[in-house]
A = this chain, B = another copy of it.
């Protein structure tokens, strides 16, 4: 599980709450119409901007991005080098039963295609197509969260404008201006917190997770093609290790020996 995201959200909420409690109670920061217009307006904007199945689908993408741990590149390389050893010894058809034990559906599919004798060009095309589709879905997720961040901020401001107009219109008792204006500003506060503590950082996180996941998948494609072309297991490992950052590269060597 992606612990830093949870830690970050809790830490951010804590900072905001402590600042609120140090200056008074939480009560004055809770305002139902403000919540309604910010949350409701953001949802409404999203419903107009995206098809329903994309909005529902984004939950899946987020859940997967946070809960699903994509295998580390090192583990994947070790697994593929293992396949290379076996293929070298017993022929590529021997990978058929290995493929059945693979959990990762993308790697499983790739190995099966190689076993089935798919030509290298077609194999790369199919797997690259798959990676391209995955990237598109990740980008859709990011774009939904960026849009939510934009609408949260905008409807926060719209709520504040409504509050200001109402306050200014009904301005009979000067001593009531303060609290009315405070309530008006709370809506901007809601929008800014929703945007900066949830939507925008999660959009950035999705972008980073997407890069990591795609890197792992590219290692898989390269590895399967290398095995298929009959490369020596050592050459397979050498090729795949160039995908690792320098630090991990040495780690990989140590674990291997």
Chain A residues with a Cβ under 8 A of chain B = 2-5, 7-9, 11-16, 18-20, 22-24, 28-29, 33-34, 36-37, 40-41, 43-52, 54-55, 126, 129-130, 133, 137, 147, 150-151, 154-155, 157-159, 161-171, 175, 177-179, 181-182, 185-186, 188-189, 192-193, 195-198, 200-202, 204-205, 208-209, 212, 242, 245-246
The listed residue (B37, B147, B167, B179) touching A171 by CB distance below 8 A is B179
Of all chain B residues, the one with the shortest Cβ separation from A3 is B52
Interface of A is mostly: helix
Contacts of A165 in B (CB 8 A): 28-29, 182, 185-186, 189
Residue in B14, B24, B185 whose beta carbon sits within 8 Å of that of A40 in the complex: B14
User: Would you give 24 A-B contacts (Cβ < 8 Å), ordered by A?
Assistant: A4-B47, A4-B50, A4-B55, A8-B43, A12-B41, A12-B48, A14-B40, A15-B36, A18-B37, A23-B33, A41-B197, A44-B197, A45-B196, A45-B201, A48-B205, A49-B201, A130-B242, A151-B196, A154-B192, A164-B185, A165-B182, A168-B181, A168-B185, A171-B177
Residue of B nearest to A140 (CB): B208
Known: A165-B185, A169-B179, A171-B179. A40 touches B15 (CB 8 A): yes
User: Complex Cα distance A144/B36, Å?
Assistant: 30
A242 and B132 alpha carbons, distance in the complex (Å): 10
> Quick check: A193 and B46 within 8 Å, CB to CB?
no
B49 touches A208 (CB 8 A): yes
Q: Which of A37, A55, A188, A198 has the most CB of B within 10 A?
A: A37
- A-B pairs with lowest CB-CB distance, top 4: A8-B47, A12-B44, A171-B178, A15-B40
